Structure 1
Amino acid sequence: MDGTLLQTETLLIHVHPRLFAALREEGLYTGETPPVDELIACLGMLLEEIWKKVMPDASEAARRRADELMLQYELEELEAGNGSLYPKVAETLRELKARGIKLFVASNGLEHYVKGIVKVKGMDDLFDDLYSAGEYETASKVELVALLMEKHGIKQGWMVGDRSSDVEAGKGNGLAVIGCAYAGFGGNAELAGADVCIEHFEQLLALLPKPEAAKEDLSSEITG
């Protein structure tokens, strides 16, 4: 979701100051508000890992409260119209769906955050299912994607994402990996090992086999 479908910084610039103001008001955080870029750089990690990096000296109570506030404010800001999808995301997903391709989200985020984005952005009808670490309590995205594939009987496919966790999840489950180089949250090293990198989401369509070859292995154009 983050850094692949959603241009998350357009949401976090509204959430970030509210979250730290609330933590200070509740007496859970006394330091300066860290730069929002520090939070953005952690996107794709589990929340537990994010808070350890963004506010390493904070108490466990502060980090758990930050989880709650993050979700609350993200949903509020989404409902207020903040937070943008990357260009051509909705159109590309609809074209992929029209071609009979099953679409899933596998995110390290919270359940209601992932589902909230899909609902607010009018994408409910596009995805076959939504998987989040928050809902399934998985320790890694490798585990989350394995669960998805087992439940839906997926034998082949593409893992599309912008972080090293996406590359690991794809390779760890025998999937071709498409690296999304347009977000830039973690730098080029994040996508080392990806089969192909794209600069725009709609470039996924150009990687697909031609209609007459649709029954062939989808990974052939990437790995062949």
Structure 2
Amino acid sequence: MAISLIFDMDGTLFQTDKILEISLEAAFDYLRSRDEWTKGTPIEKYREIMGATLPVVWETLMPDHSDAVRETANDFFQKHLIATIHNGKGALYPHVYELFEYLKQAGCSIYIASNGAIEYLQAIVSHYKLDAWVTETFSIQQIDSLDKADLVSVILRKYNIEHAAVVGDRLTDINAAKKNGLLAIGCRFDFAQEDELRQADVTINDLLELKELLLKRP
């Protein structure tokens, strides 16, 4: 029986690391120009919390600032990320196209569930033409709870999916799978943390390993 695959985006399909630092630096340079930030850019802190929802990201990076300043920072950051993607400075992880074509030929449906913003996800999907394989891309902004487990549940209900796996690099992805009774596949990629990956049902070091995993399934 064909299985549906629900992929995370950042750190799973898209090498966010290639554009994260330059966009975050630009955002904090902008804040410094407005005298709203005086310290260095908290890039390492962002790496630690990669995969968190945007409100949590900015509350963590700027705990002593107002919501208005955080919103200003996020707006600038998102616009810079999107411009950087369209300028071709990002990249998918190796073998995304090869894997997606294999899944399509095997009759598997592909979805994306991400904590990223809608416009940001659309920029990636459009630039890399992922719609050729992806049935639909879902953003956490589409649900009130901002819980990825609930977002995955929305996908399962909308498409009447019974057999699926969630593929991602962080605990939010693993928990989203577990809470919905799905297979949790952890990706040991750039932002992954070993203590989180230990909670996955299986881990991979390369996306092509999914082909072997699927071949072993009954």
TM-score normalised by the chain length of structure 2: 0.91
Following TM superposition, by how much is the alpha carbon of 1:46 offset from its aligned partner in structure 2, in angstroms? 0.3
User: Could you tell me how far apart the structure 1 residues matched to 2:68 and 2:143 are?
Assistant: 22
**C-alpha contact (below 8 Å) 1:4/1:86 kept by paired residues:** yes
Gapped regions of structure 1 (runs ≥ 5): 211-217
Secondary structure of the residue aligned to 1:177 is: strand
Q: Which has the higher contact order (CA 8 A, sep 6+)?
A: 2
Cross-structure match for 2:37: 30
| DSSP 3-state at the match of 1:160 | strand
How much has 1:43 moved relative to structure 2? 1.4
Instruction: Name the counterpart of 1:202.
Output: 208
What residue is the counterpart of 2:159 in the other structure? Answer: 152
Aligned counterparts of 1:142 and 1:66: Cα–Cα separation in 2: 27
| Pairwise CA distance, 1:136 | 3.1
CA distance in structure 1 between the partners assigned to 2:42 and 2:72 by the alignment: 19
Structure 2 distance, partners of 1:22, 1:93, is 38
Residues 65-98 of structure 1, C-alpha deviation per residue, up to 9 Å, x if partnerless? 1221121111100011111111111221121112
Code of the aligned partner of 2:69: A
Cross-structure match for 2:16: 8
Alignment of 1:62-211 (within 5 A): 62-183=69-190, 185-209=191-215
Could you say what the CA RMSD is over the residues aligned between the two structures, in angstroms?
1.5
Aligned partner letter, 1:178:
I
Task: Pick closer, same or farther for the CA change 1:203–1:12 going to 2, 3 Å.
Answer: same
Q: What letter is aligned with 2:21?
A: I
| Counterpart residue type for residue 11 of structure 2 | G
Q: State the AA in 2 paired with 1:124.
A: D
Q: How many residues are treated as equivalent by the alignment?
A: 210
With normalisation by structure 1, the TM-score equals 0.88
* More displaced stretch, 94-103 vs 170-179: 94-103
Write out the 4+ residue segments of structure 1 that deviate beyond 4 Å after TM superposition: none
Identity %: 33
What's 1:57 paired with? 64
Identify if the C-alpha distance between structure 1 residues 186 and 119 changes in structure 2 by more than 3 Å, giving closer, same or farther: same
Distance 2:144 2:23 in 1: 24
Distance in structure 1 (CA, Å) of the matches to 2:21 and 2:121 = 18
- For structure 2, the 5+ residue unaligned runs are 1-8
Contact 1:12 1:40 in 2 (8 A): no
Q: Provide the C-alpha distance between the structure 1 equivalents of 2:132 and 2:144, rounded to a whole number of angstroms.
A: 25
The answer to whether the 8 Å contact 2:170/2:192 transfers is yes
Give distance in 2, aligned partners of 1:130 and 1:88: 19
CA contact (8 A) 1:164 1:192 kept: no
Q: Quote the offset at 1:186 in angstroms.
A: 4.3
Any idea what SS the aligned residue of 2:208 has? helix
Cα contact 1:180–1:200 (8 A) shared by 2:
yes
